[in-house]
Structure formats: structure tokens, C-alpha cells
Chains A and B, each alone.
Chain A
Amino acid sequence: MNPLSLHPLGTDAVGRDVALRLIAAAKPLLLGGGIAIAVAFTTGVSLGAVAGARGGRIGQAIRAAATSVAAIPAIPLVLVLGLEIGQGAAPLGLAWGLACAPGVGMAIFHRVDALRREDRLLALVAHGVPTWRAVAVHLVWNNARDVLRMQAARVLAGFLAMESALSYLGSAGVAEPEASWGNMLAMAMRSGDGAGAASLPVIAPVVAIVGVSALLWRAAQGPAVRAVPGLHERRAPQELHDGDLAATNIEVRNAVRTADGRRLAHLDALHAHPGEVVALIGPSGAGKSLILRAIAGIVPAALTASGRITRPRLAWVAQDARASLDPLRTVRAQADAGPEALKLSGFPAARLDAFPHALSGGEAQRAALLVAVAPRGAPPPALLLADEPTTGLDPRARRSLTRALRALTRSEAGPAVLFVTHDQRLLPGFADRIVPVGSSETPPGAPAPLAPSPRAPSPLDLTSTTPLLAASGLCVWPGLTRSPRRTGRGAPLLRGIDLHVHAGETVCLVGESGSGKTSLLRALNGLCASNGTLTLLGADPRGEPSRRTQMLWQDPGTSLDPTLPLHRLLAISERLGRERDTVGRTVDEALRKVDLVHRAKALASELSGGEQRRASLAQIWLTGARVVLADEPTAGLDAARAAEALTLLRAIVGAEGGILVASHDLTQVLPLCHRVYVLHEGACVDAFAPSDAADAARHPFTRDLLDAG
């Protein structure tokens, strides 16, 4: 009888069918591997998530425990445990799970910790989602599922490699007569018919092990491995000279995803002479930064740039100044800091030996300028490219930077400066020439849309109503806390704050970056430690965070779980709203209110910036909040978009709600609010209505903010 018919892969030494045993051998792998994953995930994932979510000392304690377990090498631990609890797939799986728990735990910790640092967890908790649900469902299950998949594959691949080896060696793994690819291979080698490695019973387990192992390793790879950017790509030599920049028909396409490559940015012509300041201006999202990077020849790996560009020796400064500095070297090591360069860039000579991470915001800005103007080991550039240098700076820092750039171009053999901005107020007296960059839809060269004059809000009669939010003599400590009522450690950030917000009123909180605006907002919502009297809708919010207030985040994506489609995301807010008996506020109506009905099925991560902003407003509306605390809602927006954002916010909150907006840019928010409080050096130095802004009684700092606009 032809053996192949009955036994496709033949029989082993004792007459058992190889094919059947090959399949039976999957049982210990699945059983042991399953137990390993279960053990590793129950201990690793839960502790990793807690460490990631809490951070601080508890996080460090858990990570210290993890390093202890991780210090014990896995297979020796499995052998010692096998000594006691016996051999076989189940104890092997238990021991392997324990050995893999630290690896799984650390992977989950890094992902959850990153999300926490982006305030994702805080946004969910402030929105009203219970902490355990926020961590377990939104952070771990929704946003770390790829980590779970990769770790599961890694644990299984490790288990297979170990189990097959120990079973082959005989005394510790899965022993005969239970089937395992390891002991099948051992028996085949031991009692093959002298054909040695060529016989089927030997090849079958080998192919099984390699096949499954390759599959698991493929699943265990992260995306980074697949898309590998070419850091070392060769670039055609440029003909370089010290003279002008001349560039025509610059285009940046996205060649990766679509064949024809959607055009992301386009500019017909641009030239710049030394000593000249040229501004590239256009609405947010018009591709200004991409044009700048195309000119500098450093377009992101996934995009391609085209066009005829003759460029002089140039330097490029990123939007975040500190990022343009090499963190591993001191400023002196990166810049050829002669006295003249120091004076031009305005960087204090005493701080030359500091490292970039130790510099303050302003110092980092000046250091970036110094390194750009006088790089170490290279001649000074003829052209300085700056990507939104003033965004995020408060008015005074913005004014001193533009003055420094101005002085730089005026100096003899000064370079040309080409910078990108959306802030039109910057241009008069600074830019010699303005080149508008239309968004890919609007034709280039069309006149930049004039900023509509913002409509001042109608004056309110406030004498009769009691304020929705009232704080007097408030001291605020930085840092989030579970028990806000307790006073924090060390010196308070803000002292003696008195403010109130009435129904229908839009109040602004203005101050330099670092003055404590965000901490004050979080204290008002009961998330930061503070003492002094604080009433919100008649109750003190520092007990249980009251659901009647909602926060609007500077980056609108913070409060949107990127993995959920929009309608399911809003359903969560709807359910939170229903808990607080809001009548008739459904998801569909919210979508209609913010004009996002056509995007209901889209994932939150696929929405554009503006759409995300409107989605977060829909969230707020669904929870029926009476008071909205908005943190820098207008940052990075030009005047038109800022006005549009605040009017939509007012429409969402309605006449009987109060809005408190924190911003660093007084001139931008002044025309849009009823009253302004000014924070400076830990105190509230000024409070006034926009109408008497020009009044002489204003605090000198306020006056400084007003004329810097």
C-alpha cells in the first residue's frame, strides 16, 4: 500500500502518522503560549498602564519592580520553576508569561505615558469619563492595540523557540508521548532510517517551526521597520554662490500614497537679495512650511519637491527654536560666537556653556539665531530661512526678535531673511516684500484675504445676575493632584486671584507664556491644588470635578480619541450629558450644529484641524456645559479664523453660559471679549473692559502688551 495515501507525510519510528502529530503538536504551543500571553498581559499590561497613567513615584516603583523581574533571564527562570512545578506546556507557559511580563509592561507603559504627556488622559477625565474607563478602554484598548498585538506575537514567538528547543533537549520541555515539534524532531533524528536530515519526519517539524516563527516575527514588527526613511539619500550637487536666491515653479507633491501625487504646495516665483527681508504669508494649512523646506532642500521623506532653485549658502531655523539646537552639545560648541554675532543675535555670552535643554524660551530663540548666523566650522549663510519664528511668542519677545532680524539684515554683508508667518500684524515696518502663498485650491498670487474687522460682542447688563464662576483670594500650585483642596508643596505659582464670569460673558485671561494661565484654568476646574474661596455654579468644584464645566484644549485633537469614528465619539459625550439630565441633546443635532454631518463616519484622526475644533465643540455642547474654560483656543490662527472660532464657541455655549479664554496675545483677543484679566509675575495685575483699554490707569505691563500688537 502506498504509504503516502494513508500517511501523506509518512510515519515516525513508532508508526504514528507524522501529519496528525504535526497538528497535535500545535496544542502545547497554543495552550502554553495562551497561558504565557494571559499571565504576561494580566500582570504586565495592568501594571504598565497604571505606571503610565499615574507617572510620578508610583510609576517609578512599578518600573523598578519590572527591572527586577526583567533582570532574571527568562529561560533559566523557566528551568528553575520547572524544577518545582514540573514539566509540560502549561507550567512552561506560566513561567514564560511571568518572564515576559516586564517586556509587555514596559511597552504599554511607554505608549500610555506618551498619551498622558499629551494630556489625552486629562482631557478624558476632565470631560467626565471615569479614570479606569479612560485608561483601560481609550488609552490601552483603542490607542495601544497595536502594541498589544506586537507583544502577543513576540511572547508567542519566544515561547515557540524555547519550547521546541527544550522539547528537543528532552528533560524540560514537552515530553513524549505528548506531541511537540521539538520532540518530533528529536525522535526523527534519533531513529530516522539512516537518511538523516533528508527524511520527511525530520523536514516536517523543521518547516512547521520556521513557518510559524516567521509569521509571528512578521506580526511582532512595528510599522517603523517597514517604512524606513532614507537618511543618507544622495542629492545632486547644487551650483552654489553667495548671491541671490532665485526659485521658480516650486511644487511639493505627496508621491507616496497616490500615483499622480496630490499637489500639497505651489509657488510660481520667488527671489531674495542679501539684506532683504521677505515674508511668505498665507492662511494656516496653505503649505507655506513645505515651500520653505523645498527651498532648503529638506522636504520630508514621504514627499517630493520639484522646481528650478538656485540657492545661496543658507541656514534654516525650525518653528520650535529649541529643536534646531543639537541637544548633545553646548551652544558654544555649535556656534562660532564672535562678539559681533553675539550682539546681532542678542544671546547672553554668559550662557554660552549651557546646554540647549537648560535654556529658557527666549534664550533658546536667540541661541537658534546665533547658531544659524554663525555656525561652527562653516562660513556665515547668505540666506536665513525661518519657519514661523514668532508663533507662540508673547508680544514683547515677538517684537525683540523682529528687531534683531531687522538689525541682522541691515549689518554689512548681512544675509537675506525669508520667513513664513500667518500673522499679518508682524509685517508693517519689518518685511521689505510680501509673497502670498495660496492654498493648493486657491490660485497663487491672489491678494491675501483682508482680515474682516471682528464684530465686538454686544455689551451686557451684569449688575443683577450672580456670577457663574467666582474666585477670590485664590492661591494656585502647579501640577495635577487628586485632592485639590490640600495646599500644594513649595511656593504657589499664583497668589490672591480674584475673578468672576457671568452668564453670557466672554472673559479673557492674558499673560506671558509661563505665567500660570493653564494652571489657573485647571485650578478653576478642580484639577490643580488651590486654596481660597472658589464657587462654580454655586458649588465648590474642588470636591468632585463638576460636570457642568468643560475644557477646550489648545490642540483640538487632545479630547478626541483618534481611533473612534466621530459619531461613536460623540455618543460617549451624549451618554455623559444624559447622566446630567440634558434634555434632547443628541449626536445628530450636535453634528448639525457644528456642520459636521457629512464627516460622521470619519475617524477623529482623519479630520482636519478646523473639523477637529468643531468636533470638540460638539462634545462640549452634548455635555450641556454652562462654563467653558478654553486654553489658547486662538493660538496659531490668523485673525479671521480666531474670530470665527470664538463666535462658534459662543453659539455652542449659548446666552446663559460663561466662557473663560486664556491667551498670550492680548491684541488678538481684546476685540472678542467683554472683560480682560492680566496675569504677570504670579499676580492678577489688571482687570478692565476693552472699551477703556487705552485708559492711562493700565498697568505698565498691560500697556506694553497693547502696543506690541
Chain B
Amino acid sequence: MSVALAAGTAGASQLRYAEDQTPAIVNPLFTSSMTETRVAELLFQSLYTDDHTLAAVPQLAESGELSADRQHMTVRLREDITWQDGSPFTARDVVLTVKAMKDPATASTEAARVSFIADLRESGTSAVEFDFVRPELRPEDKLTFKILPAAAVQTLPVKRTSPFRLNPIGTGPWSLSKFNDDNSISFAANPGYKGVDGKDDVGISQIVLKEVADKNYQAKLLLYESVDALVRVLPRDLAMLQSNRKVELYPYQTNSWWYGGFNLQRAPFDDPKVRQAVSQMLDVPDMLAPIGTGELITGPYVPSSPYYNHATKPWPHDAAGASTLLNAAGYQRGSDGWYKAGKKLSITVSAHRSLESAQEVTINLQSQLQAQGVEVAINFLDDPQWRQQVWRDRNFDFVLSQWTFDRNEDIREQFYSTGSRNLTGLKDAELDKLFDTARSTADPVVRKATFRQVHQRVHDDMPMVFLWTLDSYAALSTRVKNVTVHPFAFFTWANEWQMQ
């Protein structure tokens, strides 16, 4: 084992970063929030990871050959990698991890990431043979799920209550050293860490996750140098932090967009005309202004994405047009609102309580719609209510939220008629056909054109009002050097960071 600690990290350097809430479970199988994704990035590795140009490079894998029909792949693993408890990393760890993620009883939240794998098996101790469900263009981009040690995943179903959550063992640059008693977590550098292409030393010897529930307060703590990094900066603090020479802002979670999702399963938004009317009533720039800056979007991609269809025209903000659409849908304008067969048009808008700025946007949306006769009730839901009402029972009319994607930008699960994350309930056979052709073709040019048609079609079906992609930033103290922030997982290249 080569000497891990390079000269650079002589003194014990500590990076403290603030999160809204300490994660309930440190087990990548059950990751359900961005906080847990970032912690998993510190502790675990995957077969392939992103380099600075967001291209897939091997991490735990040594090399991989794809079969001619692109439906089978053999990945040879690196032999010099050990788990933080000293045991060697072998093919068995990979096989058992994927099997645990696919096990229905475990109900892992990451199951969708391995749905493209039909079967896999060890071949020797340092090679794994994958069989894919259908031919894959670039499987390396998809083999980015975190690998757990065999001991943690061998008995199925894996329970959330398993003791692994208190003592997670990974191969990543840091290991979980202690759950401190003030609800913070300390991570210590992993001496046996093997990085990508020989970068094995870990710049920062200790990282501490501090819980600062009061969002109003995180920016101030950065100024006071009580924390060294904020994952997401509130728009109101951007101006203050930019002008401060001790703080540096880095774009983060760029691959995310805000939307207002209709519930197509029940009135009144089962009627497309009503959906279009509501969308034309909304003045989107006026809703964006109080919460920060960003770019308006017309479809389910960020403008910087290759799949974004710049030809799609946004729906006009046209009150008169909205009225005619509502009349066409059978609504008459009464003195205090719109009525159809005696029933007043009134909708509930649901939003997640802990999503920054969601409250401001929802209240703005309410006042805009109420000014035009649509009665709006607001329902801010905390996490358990959000999962139950929105995801399981689909008990909502209109939902305001934000989607964040890793670099695959795979929106199939959101809009395919049987997609696991299709909360709007969109059923469009033509759109499904487009998704299938995009997935089956190997030619990147055809794939880009197909996804642009998906953009246009989703825009026309209007299951959602596509709002904007918010300029969102992370803020780090200038004492942290050599910083590059991964747009989704934040800590992917944290091992290169140095503390002054």
C-alpha cells in the first residue's frame, strides 16, 4: 500500500459545511435527500465517476469491454482498492450491491438507477459480467451508483434499521469517524484511499457536517467564519456574499429546473384547455424576481443542455387568451370567479416546506391567479406529508417544486406513461414512442434530435408549467483552495481541495 498522506496535508485541516438537517440514514441504498447524496459522495465510490469535463472515467473499475450487440459488458476491477475496514474490494461486493438495489423487499430508493441491468455475475474475484435489458449506447454513464461492502448487503432484504447506518464502510476519500452529540457528523480522511489516475492523497484531513436548521442564519455564519462552506446560498444573501472578499461563490445544482405540475388524473386539470388558461394567467418573470435570478425555460431541460429545443416558443402571458380558453372549457366568469355548472373553479397549490423560496413563489402565484378569478388555497407540506399526499396518494391539484438531475438528464421516468416519477399522470403514446426510439438508437445525433422533439411535445401536452432554472450557488471560504464543485454531488472532486 503506497504511503497515502502527501506532504501537503501536514497540519490537521478541517472543513465545516452547513446543512439544513443531519441525515437520518447514512446508507446509499435509502438515499432520499440531496444531503444524503453529498454524504454518500464522501464515503463511497462507484465503478465509473465524472472527470472535470463531466465525462465518465473509471473509478473502481480498471477497464470495461462492451459486447458487439452492446447488451453484455465485462468490467475488470482495480485490485489495489481496500474497504476502510481493511478488507479487499472484490467483484462480490459489486454483485451483491446491485442485487440489493434490485430487491423489491428492500424497496431501495435507488432501484431506478439499476433498472437497465438484467443480470450480473462474478467472473473471478476481480471481474463482473453485466447483461443489459436492451443495447446501451454508453453504459459507463449509468454505472455511477455507489458500491457497498458485501457484508452490508448479503442478507436480503436489507433493513433501514441495520447497524450499517451507524458505522458505514466505504472506499471513498473520507470515512465516518463520529456522530457528534450536537447533531453534527465528523468525517476523517481515509488513509487507504485510492483515487482516480493516481491522485490518492486527500487534501482535507477532516470534514464536519454542521446542522444549522435556521436558514436565515447560514450566510451569517459563513461571514463569521464559523462554517467554511454553504451548499446552497439564499438569493437574498448573494449580493452580500459576492461583495465579501473572504467568500467565493461557485455555481451548484445548475442542472435543475422549477416547474408547476398539474394533476391530470382529476378535474379541473384533466382538461388541457384549463391547463393552458392557467399557464397563460401566470406572469413567470414577476414570480422569479423576488427569489433571485435565472433563465426562463419552455421545456423539461436546462438551456445549457444539448437536448434543449430553443425553437419552442413559451406560452404567452395573455389574460384575454386565458378567458377565451376557459369559456371554451365551459367556464363562465361570475362576479367573484369562474363557474362551471355552478361549481367555482378553485385549486390547491402544494409546495414542499423546506424548499428554499418555494413559499415566496407560491404566495406570488396565489395572488396572480386570484387577481384573475381563480380561487387558490395554499398547502405547505413537510417531508412525510409531501411523500404521502403528492407521491403516494396523488392528492393534489397543482404542485410547485424543483427537479435536480445528475448529468444524465434522463427525464424518461418523469414523462413516460409508466414512469416511476410521473406524478402528473401524463399518458401520451406518441411521447412514449419518442422515448423508446431515443433509448434504442446508438447514434448521438439521432438521440439529440429525438429529445428535442420530446421537449416540444411535452411543452405542447403541458403536464407542467415550466418556470425557470435558478442561478443557484454554493459559497466557500477563500481559505479553501483548488475548489471545483460538481453540479450535482458537490464533493466528487473534494479530495483535491486544500485548506490554507
Q: Does A189 contact B (CB under 8 A)?
A: yes
Q: How far is the CB of A468 from chain B (nearest CB, A)?
A: 76
Q: Which residues of B contact A170 (CB under 8 A)?
A: 353
Does A187 lie within 8 Å of B359, measured CB to CB?
yes
Within 8 A of A (CB), among B326-385: 353, 359-360, 362-364, 366-367, 378, 380, 382
Mark the stretch among B120-128, B155-163, B234-242 that contacts chain A. Answer: B234-242
Q: Which residues of B contact A171 (CB under 8 A)?
A: 353, 382
Known interface pairs A176-B378, A190-B216. Does A13 touch B366 (Cβ–Cβ under 8 Å)?
Answer: no
Q: Does B104 contact A (CB under 8 A)?
A: no
Within 8 A of A (CB), among B215-247: 215-216, 234, 236-237, 239-240
Does B353 lie within 8 Å of A191, measured CB to CB?
no
Instruction: State the total of A-B contacts with C-beta under 8 angstroms.
Output: 44
Q: Does A56 contact B (CB under 8 A)?
A: no
Q: Does B251 contact A (CB under 8 A)?
A: no
Known interface pairs A186-B216, A190-B215. Does A177 touch B363 (Cβ–Cβ under 8 Å)?
Answer: yes
Per-residue contact bits, chain A 170-192, to B (CB 8 Å; 1 contact, 0 not): 11000111000000001101111
Known interface pairs A187-B359, A190-B215. Does A177 touch B353 (Cβ–Cβ under 8 Å)?
Answer: no
Does B236 lie within 8 Å of A192, measured CB to CB?
yes
Does A191 lie within 8 Å of B236, measured CB to CB?
yes
Q: Which residues of B contact A192 (CB under 8 A)?
A: 236
Q: Which residues of B contact A16 (CB under 8 A)?
A: 363
Does B215 lie within 8 Å of A191, measured CB to CB?
no
Q: Does B8 contact A (CB under 8 A)?
A: no
Q: Does A194 contact B (CB under 8 A)?
A: yes
Q: Does B290 contact A (CB under 8 A)?
A: yes
Does A14 lie within 8 Å of B234, measured CB to CB?
no
Residue of A nearest to B366 (CB): A177
**Contact-size category for A:** 10 to 19
Q: How far is the CB of A190 from chain B (nearest CB, A)?
A: 5
Could you tell me the distance between the alpha carbons of A14 and B367 in the complex, rounded to whole angstroms?
A: 10
Q: How far is the CB of B60 from chain A (nearest CB, A)?
A: 40
Known interface pairs A14-B290, A170-B353. Does A176 touch B363 (Cβ–Cβ under 8 Å)?
Answer: yes
Q: How far is the CB of A246 from chain B (nearest CB, A)?
A: 74
Q: Which residues of B contact A15 (CB under 8 A)?
A: 290, 364, 367
Known interface pairs A13-B290, A176-B378. Does A194 touch B363 (Cβ–Cβ under 8 Å)?
Answer: no
Does B240 lie within 8 Å of A175, measured CB to CB?
no
Known interface pairs A16-B363, A176-B363. Does A189 touch B216 (Cβ–Cβ under 8 Å)?
Answer: yes
Per-residue contact bits, chain B 58-93, to A (CB 8 Å; 1 contact, 0 not): 000000000000000000000000000000000000
Q: Which residues of B contact A175 (CB under 8 A)?
A: 353, 380
Does A191 lie within 8 Å of B360, measured CB to CB?
yes
Q: Does A681 contact B (CB under 8 A)?
A: no
Does B378 lie within 8 Å of A177, measured CB to CB?
yes
Does B359 lie within 8 Å of A194, measured CB to CB?
no
Could you tell me the distance between the alpha carbons of A16 and B239 in the complex, rounded to whole angstroms?
A: 23
Q: Does A242 contact B (CB under 8 A)?
A: no
Q: Does A544 contact B (CB under 8 A)?
A: no
Q: Does A606 contact B (CB under 8 A)?
A: no
Residue of B nearest to A186 (CB): B216
Q: Which residues of A contact B363 (CB under 8 A)?
A: 14, 16, 176-177
Q: Which residues of A contact B216 (CB under 8 A)?
A: 186, 189-190
Q: Which residues of A contact B382 (CB under 8 A)?
A: 171
Could you tell me the distance between the alpha carbons of A176 and B364 in the complex, rounded to whole angstroms?
A: 12
Could you tell me the distance between the alpha carbons of A177 and B290 in the complex, rounded to whole angstroms?
A: 16
Could you tell me the distance between the alpha carbons of A14 and B290 in the complex, rounded to whole angstroms?
A: 7
**Which residue from B239, B290, B362 sits with its C-beta under 8 Å from A191?**
B290
Q: How far is the CB of B185 from chain A (nearest CB, A)?
A: 22
Could you tell me the distance between the alpha carbons of A187 and B367 in the complex, rounded to whole angstroms?
A: 17
Per-residue contact bits, chain A 150-180, to B (CB 8 Å; 1 contact, 0 not): 0000000000000000000011000111000
Q: Does A581 contact B (CB under 8 A)?
A: no
Per-residue contact bits, chain A 377-411, to B (CB 8 Å; 1 contact, 0 not): 00000000000000000000000000000000000
Q: Which residues of A contact B237 (CB under 8 A)?
A: 194
Does B380 lie within 8 Å of A193, measured CB to CB?
no
Q: Which residues of A contact B236 (CB under 8 A)?
A: 13, 190-194
Q: Which residues of B contact A193 (CB under 8 A)?
A: 236
Residue of A nearest to B359 (CB): A176
A15, A171, A176: most-surrounded residue (chain B CB, <10 A): A176
Q: How far is the CB of B371 from chain A (nearest CB, A)?
A: 12
Known interface pairs A171-B382, A175-B380. Does A14 touch B360 (Cβ–Cβ under 8 Å)?
Answer: yes
Q: How far is the CB of A407 from chain B (nearest CB, A)?
A: 75
Q: Which residues of A contact B366 (CB under 8 A)?
A: 177
Known: A171-B353, A190-B234, A191-B236. 4 other contacts (CB 8 A): A13-B360, A14-B363, A175-B353, A191-B290
Give the 8 A-B residue pairs with the shortest CB-CB distance, closest first: A189-B216, A14-B363, A190-B216, A177-B378, A176-B359, A14-B360, A191-B236, A194-B240
16 pairs, A vs B, C-beta closer than 8 Å: A13-B290, A15-B290, A15-B364, A16-B363, A171-B353, A175-B353, A176-B380, A177-B362, A177-B363, A177-B366, A177-B378, A187-B359, A190-B236, A191-B236, A191-B290, A194-B240
